[in-house]
A and B are shown apart, each in its own frame.
Chain A
Amino acid sequence: MNRLETNLPGLSMENPIMPASGCFGFGEEFAKLYDLNELGAIALKGTTQEARYGNETPRVAETSSGMLNAIGLQNPGVETVINEKLSWLEKYTVPLLANISGSTMEDYERTAAALSAHKRVCALELNISCPNVKEGGITFGTDPELAAELTKRVKTVSHVPVYVKLSPNVTNVTTLAKAVEKAGADGLSMINTVTGMKIDIQTGRPLLANGTGGLSGPAVKPIAIRMIYEVRQATDLPIIGMGGISSVEDVIEFFMAGANAVAVGTANFTNPFICLELIEGLEKWATEKSLSNIQDLHINEVKTS
């Protein structure tokens, strides 16, 4: 019996733990440390039609129990991702979730069509919530109508299920979730980073070259838990939960809030072995609790009255 086996649209996973997009590159660095097939899945680095350098440095700034980043979607472009990164990943069997971004709807469509046609890509993660690029990204993630139209158009061209990655930088995340569900999304992943800023008091200037950045790490976990909980009350779509996960207890909390799988982001930077440790720890916990499958966990676990 595999207590951790998790089946979501497009993603048949041995366990529900995956590294989050942007925190794991395309896996090459971590493949030197462990067997990538141990992971439930891998959310690949955000990919755009053309190659991007991203923002100037400094691109990261540490904050209390968190980290701000403003990488700016640096990636080699969809062609190189297919020819080099995905070809390299062919030697693994771990399911791949390809994260896509763009400046226009046409960009998203082209990137989605190309990546989803690759035999190693099992699902797409539509990034409509990157706070660190000037065009596209988050503008699609804060307007329910635009988010729905983009989802519909990507769904039309995609060969694989589409997960929409939601932004926490909205007043009502449920409205967005419902909008993309209606437009045909197969799942949700949430949350992306929370827009923030840090000022260097010596210079009086923002520490990040980009001015603002996305806050991640344990500092944002309560926001993620609350938003996943809210969205779970409004939809049955599968949710890949993320935001500050760094312990088995965190994973359990995300499941209780309503997540069906989790992604681990910033914690990979502190401990490159964190995903493996969480998989092992979760397996042990599920065995101790005699839970036949981890998916049984979130049902009616949270009582608000």
Chain B
Amino acid sequence: MKKNNMTIYSNKKIANSIFEMVLEGEIVYDIERPGQFVHIKTADESPFLLRRPLSICDADKKAGRMTVIYRAGGAGTRLFAEKKAGLSLDVLGPLGNGFAINGTEVGKRAVLVGGGVGVPPLYGLAKALTTKGINVVTVLGFNDADTIFYEEKFKELGDVYTCTVDGSAGYKGMVTDVMKREHIDCDWLYACGPKPMLRALECQYPEAKGSLSLEERMGCGIGACLACVCHLQEDPSGREYRKVCSDGPVFPWREIAL
């Protein structure tokens, strides 16, 4: 983990409120797995104290670049959206443990399910899995047609099922509806998105192997402040806990109380 300035190589809008930013810098060489994240300061002097945790979408070590995708939803992330190429950002990372894919067997199928801004880390994962020779099927869920991103990129790596809550593009409904309708069964299931989506997946595929990645409000991002803790399924109201930032953000299915 390093704290470094990274240079913005590009920063562009790819869907409604959704931006793709490519960053250059040393931190790229420390990335070990898809699913890790970086913690980025919004500005040198800004009223926003806390960094913003963004999952790493893709890393190109040859070029020394990585891609992050964010939703400019709040005042802090809107500052990111205004940044032009050539400027630098104060980045802490890579942080967290990513997706472990060493258990997957060549020739088997992995289903990747992403919801909204939970989609980005699955892109790096899809690339890692296909490189290993695993067939990847992706299910992408968005609110509406305007917020869809990366559908074409995932199509380069395998079959893609896209759905929207309002039905304005793709299948109408939730990711789990589509998966039921299309009889998508999973040997390996990987997902990132809102907790209700993860909960529905866990219900529908109680035997799935693989892992999920959690989103949570964070403070330090390194495990010290205890802002992002979560309960465990075996002890849902007890004292045992995991920290999303440093124990996760990727966890095995059925470990975390969702």
Contacts and interface: CB of A to CB of B under 8 A. Distances in A.
Interface of A: 22-25, 28-30, 32-33, 51-54, 57-62, 64-67, 69, 71, 74, 217-218, 266, 268-273
Interface stretch (B59-67, B196-204, B216-224): B216-224
Given A272-B3, A272-B92, A273-B3, A57 B230 contact: yes
B217 A57 contact: yes
B36 to A, nearest CB: 15
Contacts of A23: 224-225
Task: Please tell me the size bucket of the interface on B.
Answer: 20 to 34
Contact of A25 (B92, B216, B223, B230): B223
B49 interface: yes
A269 B49 contact: yes
A30 B224 CA distance: 8
Given A51-B239, A57-B216, A33 B48 contact: no
A273 B3 CA distance: 9
A272 B1 CA distance: 11
Nearest to A266: B49
Interface in B201-255: 216-231, 238-239, 241, 246
Given A53-B239, A74-B229, A67 B47 contact: no
13 contacts: A30-B222, A33-B1, A59-B217, A62-B48, A66-B49, A71-B226, A71-B227, A217-B49, A218-B49, A266-B49, A269-B219, A270-B41, A270-B51
Contacts of B231: 53
Interface string B59-93: 00000000000000000100000000000000010
B50 interface: yes
Given A33-B1, A62-B48, A64-B47, A54 B223 contact: no
Contacts of A52: 239
Nearest to B241: A53
B239 A269 contact: no
Contacts of A268: 220, 224
A293 to B, nearest CB: 31
In the complex, the 7 A-B pairs of residues with the closest C-beta atoms, listed nearest first = A60-B227, A269-B220, A25-B224, A29-B224, A64-B47, A29-B223, A269-B219
B73 to A, nearest CB: 11
Most buried by A among B3, B48, B226, B231: B226
Contacts of B3: 271-273
A269 B223 contact: no
A84 to B, nearest CB: 15
A37 B189 CA distance: 45
A81 to B, nearest CB: 14
Given A57-B230, A67-B219, A74-B229, A270 B224 contact: no
Most buried by A among B1, B47, B76, B92: B47
A270 B226 contact: no
A67 B50 contact: yes
Contact of A60 (B41, B217, B241, B246): B217
A270 B42 CA distance: 10
Contact of A71 (B1, B92, B225): B225
A57 B228 contact: yes
Given A59-B217, A59-B228, A62-B49, 10 more contacts: A25-B223, A25-B224, A29-B220, A29-B246, A53-B229, A59-B229, A60-B227, A74-B241, A218-B49, A268-B220
B248 to A, nearest CB: 13
A57 B258 CA distance: 12
